[in-house]
Amino acid sequence: FVDDLPHDEL
Amino acid sequence: MNAFRLAGDMTHLLSIILLLHKIRAMKSCAGISLRTQELYVIVFVTRYVDLSMKYYSFYNSIMKIVFLGTSISIVWYMRYHKVVKQTYNKDVDTFRHIFLILPCFVLALLINRAFTVIEVLWTFSLYLEAVAILPQLVLLQRSRNIDNLTGNYVFLLGAYRAFYLLNWIYRFFIENHQVRWIPWLSGLLQTAIYADFFYYYIKSWKNREKLKLPA
């Protein structure tokens, strides 16, 4: 759960 | 990546470049809130802590470095450049930004997606960015005449997050239907805070008159 928290936006 | 997010990032980049250009070309930061600029440095530093750990794309990494570099250099110019710092009027830029930083940090500790350092800092940066423009807007209300570059800077800064709202709508319906309350609500609040500025900015643009915010 934790790892798939993407911060792929700026 | 979608067109809304790219438009948002480019608008954001343009606003920062415009401000940096104003400061370097005019050797002046009159009308700019140092408090807000310092908050933006905190926003970028806390949001991009994973810059060296996670690689999403070349674009993502290069933009993070540009945002960090430009926001830090703006604060450097306003604090330490021998000519520019003379044009900074700290008597009008009195917003106590600790009253924004602390509540946002406490809120990030309480409301987050996961209680990890990276996630709490990321959440804190979203909450803080939502309110970071307040010292600048307060300063504009106190300024008798707002120069065009400053008005355009604030407008572009507000517009970028509006593009992000469209980007989140797009991503929800087209991509992964993932609900992301924290960025969504923070971004909504952030854009709402600009509402009255947008109103006066567009009015002054339509009537070809000087931008003036009611005190």
- Measured between beta carbons, the chain A residues lying within 8 angstroms of B183 are 9
The chain A residue lying nearest B180, using CA atoms, is A5
A9 within 8 A of B5, measured Cβ to Cβ = yes
Q: Give the list of residues 6+ apart from residue B50 with CB closer than 8 angstroms, or none.
A: A7, B118
Closest-CA residue to B39 (of B113, B107, B124): B124
Q: Is the dihedral of CA B44, B48, B52, B58 positive or negative?
A: negative
Closest-CA residue to B37 (of B10, B72, B1, B7): B72
Which class for B30: exposed (0-12), middle (13-18), buried (19 or more C-beta within 10 A)?
A: middle
| pLDDT band at residue B139 under the 50/70/90 scheme | very high
| pLDDT band at residue A1 under the 50/70/90 scheme | very low
Q: List, for residues B67-121, the tens digit of each pLDDT value.
A: 999 999 999 999 999 999 999 999 999 999 999 999 999 999 999 999 999 999 9
B103 within 8 A of B55, measured Cβ to Cβ = no
Classify the phi-psi angles of B148: left when phi > 0, otherwise alpha if psi is within -120 to 50, otherwise beta: alpha
Mutate to test the interface with A, among B15, B55, B56 (most CBs of A within 10 A): B56
Q: What is the mean pLDDT of residues B42-49?
A: 97
Percentage above 70 pLDDT, chain B = 100
Distance, in angstroms, between B61 CA and closest chain A CA? 9
- Measured between beta carbons, the chain A residues lying within 8 angstroms of B49 are none
Contact B64 A6 (CB under 8 A): no
On average, the pLDDT of chain B sits at 96
The interface predicted TM-score of the complex, written ipTM, equals 0.86
Q: What integer pLDDT is reported at residue B176 of this predicted model?
A: 80
- Measured between beta carbons, the chain B residues lying within 8 angstroms of A10 are 9, 12, 60, 63-64, 67
| pLDDT band at residue B178 under the 50/70/90 scheme | confident
B59 within 8 A of B1, measured Cβ to Cβ = yes
Q: List, for residues B8-43, the tens digit of each pLDDT value.
A: 999 999 999 999 999 999 999 999 999 999 999 999
Distance, in angstroms, between A2 CA and closest chain B CA? 6
Tokens coding B2: 């979608």
Q: What integer pLDDT is reported at residue B90 of this predicted model?
A: 93
| pLDDT band at residue B145 under the 50/70/90 scheme | confident
Contact A7 B47 (CB under 8 A): yes
- Measured between beta carbons, the chain A residues lying within 8 angstroms of B50 are 7
